[in-house]
A and B are shown apart, each in its own frame.
Chain A
Amino acid sequence: MGALARYTARRLLGAIPTMLVIITLSFFLLRAAPGGPFEMQRALPPQVKLNLERMYHLNLPLWQQYLDYLGNILHGNFGPSFVYRSITVNQLIGQGFPVDIAIGVPALLGALLLGIPLGIVSALKQNSWLDYFPMAVAMVGISIPTFVLAPVMILVLAVMLHWLPAGGWSAGDPLYAILPAVALGLPLIAYAARVMRGSMIEVLNSPYIRTARAKGLPERTVILRHALRPAMLPMVSFLGPAVVNTITGSIVVEEIFGLPGIGRFFVDGAMNRDYTLVMGVTVLYGLLIVLFNLVADVLYGILDPRVRFQ
């Protein structure tokens, strides 16, 4: 797998310009937005404002600030938050990100571990109730937005049945993660199941599956050995967008359940023009997306022998 390692290394190098573009664009767009971190309802006295700006180097020319920021990022330092006083962005992300991991990872895993088998069963039992029922549920799952689904779940499972907490977070208590993870994961599971069903049906109609059947192989072998691998390819492509969905979805889910994740920092930071906080979260999201797209490409190459890493 020397070729694979070289390919991965090259792709990682290729991610550097991508990240640079993300950082540069977000940095200047954010600064182009009217207002600033210290503009309150009531204007600060000019001297106070000037002192604050000097403290956060906002008085320097923009290009100087940009270069300083790049330098800091290279050292893994996202700078101090402008709004949450005396806390760094690194600390905020360090506190918030584990919450997102705790709901995002189960949601993604659920999409793969439940969505894929559901899609396969639907494809194999095409046009039977084992196909219609999960697919109808999946359609509903995709169509109902999280901001409708989540409150309904809270109402039924928390308020009426008292099975689960309605919201909030208690580090280390998985009960608090269940509802948010389900709200985040259901649309992903539904989407994965539909993608998997479609690709499985397509593969099962392909000539090489007919050849496998003509060889007298039992149906189990036909599916597991001949159909599964090609049918998984669209699932790999699904991985990149799924991660993006999980990230954007988590912003909404955090808001609904009142979770202290980074999605809320992202929204609040954007509202308050907390430049460093928004930048920090943007860079993290960008890194995750670039990383998972790379993982998807590498998986593609491992699954499909026709892909050569050159």
Chain B
Amino acid sequence: MPVLEVRNLSVRFATVSGGTVSAVNDISLSVERGEVLGIVGESGSGKSQTWLGVMGLLARNGRAEGSARFDGRELLGLSHGALNELRGARMGMIFQDPMTALNPFLSVGRQMTEVLQRHRGMDRRAAERECIAALEMVHITDAPRRLAMHPHEFSGGMRQRVMIAMTMLTRPDLLICDEPTTFLDVTVQRQILALLDELRQRFNTAIVFITHDLGVIAEIADRVIVMYGGRVMEQADVHTLFADYRHPYTEGLLRSVPRPDVTSHGKLATIAGNPPDLAHLPAGCPFAPRCVYREPRCETQMPELLDVGPAHWRACHHVGALGKLETAA
């Protein structure tokens, strides 16, 4: 059984003017134990809101509908108390900006020990010993002294390590990482990725890794889901996705990665146009307005997510070969 199974999940936000913004539209996916599932997409693709919805962390005006089963147990509609038994204990989440994700007013020790006090019923002393071990596990030296320090006394990479140590205290089955390396410089990013992989292997924790960075995906993910306009566009294992992508949007994303080995006549490929307005999504494929393979029905009818190979799905009407972008460049 997958550790998390999402069925027909939608996330909508009520706007001040009385409208609705659909951040996530009817998506289904599952996360297997111990795997790293990469979620790629640009801003506004719904990649973060999907997981905030699963964790019950949406903004006040947000609502998640559909189904999200964690270890067979429905999360949506769960009471606060019941959800809090799972959050922080069996599923954890770390965020993009380690500068603001830790409370600047509380010592790192306080923020870590409260997790164990809450979920393991430990007293402060015992919790502190565990926290020191956890900090050492994420390769933070001088851990006992660091517990008394406040987040502003740590560097960005160290803070993200603290976040990871804090989240891993309870050895969760599922760890959701929302762009955890975006704000870090490249060498630190590498270290964090290596650390996550190490922890995954040690504790068999499933990791959902949300990013817009395909390089990071190639490095860490086992499977990849490509999202656009709040929908799943393509889903495949990481090798298939890079070698044999079948969706025009995936192609666009891959072409947009700067590659020093390919001459593009000094010009970096981009996907023309802008991400869709989530308050007024088109009836058809959200990517259609920007798609070079667009057909008339793309604008009226949303393609279904169908398999195009073993464990490989895409949502696209286009039947011919891709590669237009390559010849255009």
Contact = CB atoms under 8 A, between A and B. Distances in A.
Given A208-B102, A306-B152, A214 B93 contact: yes
Contacts of B55: 214
15 contacts: A206-B100, A207-B101, A208-B100, A211-B102, A212-B103, A214-B92, A215-B115, A216-B85, A216-B86, A217-B84, A217-B114, A226-B105, A226-B106, A230-B103, A306-B150
Given A216-B118, A225-B114, A306-B150, A211 B85 contact: no
A126 interface: yes
Interface string B99-126: 0111111110000001100110000000
Interface string A219-263: 101000110011000000000000000000000000000000000
Interface string B66-90: 0000000000000011011111110
Majority-rule SS of A interface residues: helix
A122 to B, nearest CB: 14
B104 A306 contact: yes
Contact of A208 (B60, B80, B103): B103
A109 to B, nearest CB: 25
A213 B59 CA distance: 12
Contacts of B80: 218-219
Nearest to B115: A215
A225 B60 CA distance: 21
B329 interface: no
Contacts of B93: 211, 214
B130 to A, nearest CB: 15
Report which residue of A210, A216, A219, A221 has the largest number of chain B beta carbons within 10 angstroms of its beta carbon: A216
B114 A215 contact: yes
A91 interface: no
B100 A216 contact: no
A212 to B, nearest CB: 7
Given A210-B57, A217-B118, A305 B88 contact: no
Nearest to A209: B103
A130 to B, nearest CB: 15
Contacts of A214: 55, 57, 87-88, 92-93
A205 interface: yes
A179 to B, nearest CB: 40
Contacts of A216: 83-89, 115, 118-119
Nearest to B99: A207
Interface of A: 126, 205-208, 210-219, 221, 225-226, 229-230, 303-306
Interface in B21-65: 55-57, 59-60
Contacts of A215: 87-88, 92, 114-115, 118, 166
A208 B104 CA distance: 8
B265 to A, nearest CB: 42
Nearest to B102: A208
Interface residues on B, range: 20 to 34
Given A208-B100, A306-B152, 16 more contacts: A206-B100, A208-B104, A210-B95, A210-B101, A211-B163, A213-B56, A214-B87, A216-B85, A217-B84, A225-B106, A230-B103, A303-B105, A305-B105, A305-B150, A306-B104, A306-B150
B197 interface: no
Contacts of B101: 207-208, 210-211
Nearest to A213: B57
Contact of A207 (B89, B95, B152): B95
A32 to B, nearest CB: 49
A303 B105 CA distance: 8
A306 B93 CA distance: 26
A212 B112 CA distance: 10
A207 to B, nearest CB: 4
B299 interface: no
B119 A305 contact: no
Contacts of B86: 216
A80 to B, nearest CB: 52
A221 B117 CA distance: 12
Given A207-B97, A216-B119, A217-B118, A229 B105 contact: yes
Nearest to B83: A216
